[in-house]
């Protein structure tokens, strides 16, 4: 049990301890922090007050980004997590540690890590089936490759932004119903509810990373909103996939939940048929039982379940390195839109409103098919923790700003 007030019943209790990068009004330098209840433990201050400050771990914890710490690997991650747990549970240390805690309300959150490469997958069978039905109504919903490999594309790492960043409505080429090509703001501006995985330990070019090495390389999890302009996408995506419809911004949560905190959230992943190739097999195949929630201007419109995903993050990691592509610290890959079988489990507004055919009525009485300027979208999630506890995976939120003139 932690001595920090409120930690016992908090989704950010001692069993969670997510990492972030924060600054405060009286100390504007970004630095690493760990969340406990409604407080942030300042890791730079912890290190500067310790007898050791120049070992690799202490240097990494004094950084302004998680990358150096993530690069150290699982042994260092476990040791630091253990030390932080001790510091926040040993009541004899409360007097020393308390002054290093900042109220979360005073913390301004930054990108928690410096993104390397960014890959976005397409791993929900329900989402892929829904989109196939809408985008290619006269063809089979799933393309022939879909159950043989986790389909993905390389996204734009430089436009990954922290939760809370305003999102400017993108403009681009649009195809009108009568076959003209015009330029203008997207009128079918959408979200994608996703879960992202951050790579800590790199790999060498020309080598592969097996699915079973997932927990040795991947540091943790953040929520993702992969904003998507459906009208731009429809016109541009064939034959090479998404490009400007998604590259303008991708929002991520500012708290990285370590994989270690999700040990109790492991559940069996869906069975795969047909059998996958040997490099995609897992000796211990599991999913993470994350319950996602999507709210549109404050009203919950969907509750997708991450455990339903057909391809696991371990398989995605194996697939994206099977050709010998190397990993760098900070590489980031997202699951693809998380949609379940139910109408109330759809992870994009394209699916929620069935391409606009079934508008959503918001609490103010207005209706929506796609995003309007000023709309706010928040994705949050919970996961089971140890001993009946619950984890909150923070949130990723964004408000739509009008397109540029
Ligand atoms: Mn996506």
Q: Is residue 53 predicted with pLDDT exceeding 70?
A: no
Query: Which residues make up the CATH 2.30.30.230 domain(s) of the chain?
Result: 19-110
Distance 338 CA to ligand 1 centre (A): 9
Annotation says 127 is catalytic? yes
Query: Which residues make up the CATH 3.90.850.10 domain(s) of the chain?
Result: 118-401
Please state which CATH number belongs to domain 118-401: 3.90.850.10
- 3-state SS, residue 93: helix
Distance 57 CA to ligand 1 centre (A): 34
Distance 203 CA to ligand 1 centre (A): 25
> 250: which residues sit within 8 A by CB, 6+ positions away?
118, 120, 155, 156, 159, 160, 161, 224, 225, 226, 227, 334
- pTM beyond 0.95: the answer is yes
Place of tokens 């950010």: 12
pLDDT-above-90 percentage for the chain? 97
- Cα gap 228→169, rounded to integer Å: 10
Tell me what pLDDT residue 188 has.
97
Distance 60 CA to ligand 1 centre (A): 31
Element (H, E) at 189: strand 189-190
> 392: which residues sit within 8 A by CB, 6+ positions away?
11, 12, 16, 380, 381, 382
The stretch 319-336 carries a mean pLDDT of 98
**pLDDT single digits (tens) 234-261:** 999 999 999 999 999 999 999 999 999 9
What are the Cα distances from residue 348, in Å, to 26, 124, 189, 269, 334?
A: 40, 12, 10, 22, 15
**pLDDT single digits (tens) 155-209:** 999 999 999 999 999 999 999 999 999 999 999 999 999 999 999 999 999 999 9
Say which of 126, 127, 217, 319 is annotated catalytic. 127
Distance 376 CA to ligand 1 centre (A): 18
Distance 192 CA to ligand 1 centre (A): 6
Q: Is 3.40.50.460 the CATH classification of the domain at 19-110?
A: no
């Amino acid at each position: 049990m932690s001595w920090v007030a409120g930690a016992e019943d908090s989704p950010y209790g001692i069993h969670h301890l997510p990492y972030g990068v924060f600054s405060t009004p009286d100390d504007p330098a970004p630095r690493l922090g760990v969340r406990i209840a409604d407080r942030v433990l300042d890791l730079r201050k912890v290190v500067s007050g310790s007898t050791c400050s120049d070992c690799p771990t202490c240097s990494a914890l004094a950084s302004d980004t998680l990358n150096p710490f993530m690069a150290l690997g699982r042994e260092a991650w476990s040791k630091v997590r253990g030390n932080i747990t001790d510091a926040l549970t040993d009541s004899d240390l409360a007097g020393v540690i308390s002054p290093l805690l900042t109220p979360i309300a005073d913390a301004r959150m930054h990108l928690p890590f410096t993104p390397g490469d960014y890959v976005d997958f397409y791993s929900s069978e329900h989402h892929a089936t829904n989109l196939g039905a809408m985008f290619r109504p006269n063809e089979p919903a799933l393309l022939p490759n879909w159950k043989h490999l986790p389909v993905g594309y390389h996204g734009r790492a430089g436009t990954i932004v922290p939760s809370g960043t305003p999102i400017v409505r993108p403009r681009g080429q649009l195809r009108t119903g009568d076959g003209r090509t015009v330029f203008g703001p997207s009128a079918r501006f959408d979200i994608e509810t996703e879960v992202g995985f951050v790579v800590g330990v790199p790999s060498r070019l020309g080598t592969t990373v097996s699915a079973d090495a997932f927990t040795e390389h991947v540091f943790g999890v953040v929520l993702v909103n992969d904003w998507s302009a459906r009208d731009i996408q429809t016109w541009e995506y064939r034959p090479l996939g998404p490009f400007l419809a998604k590259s303008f911004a991708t929002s991520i949560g500012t708290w990285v939940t370590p994989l270690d905190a999700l040990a109790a959230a492991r559940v069996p992943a869906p069975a795969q048929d047909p059998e996958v190739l040997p490099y995609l097999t897992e000796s211990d195949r599991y999913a993470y039982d994350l319950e996602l929630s999507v709210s549109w201007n404050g009203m919950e419109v969907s509750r997708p379940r991450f455990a339903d995903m057909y391809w696991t993050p371990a398989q995605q990691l194996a697939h994206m390195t099977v050709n010998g592509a190397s990993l760098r610290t900070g590489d980031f890959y997202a699951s693809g839109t998380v949609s379940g079988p139910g109408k109330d489990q759809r992870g994009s507004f394209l699916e929620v409103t069935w391409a606009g055919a079934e508008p959503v009525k918001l609490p103010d009485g207005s209706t929506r098919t796609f995003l309007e300027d000023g709309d706010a979208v928040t994705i949050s999630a919970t996961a089971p923790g140890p001993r009946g506890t619950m984890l909150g995976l923070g949130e990723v939120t964004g408000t739509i700003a009008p397109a540029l003139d």
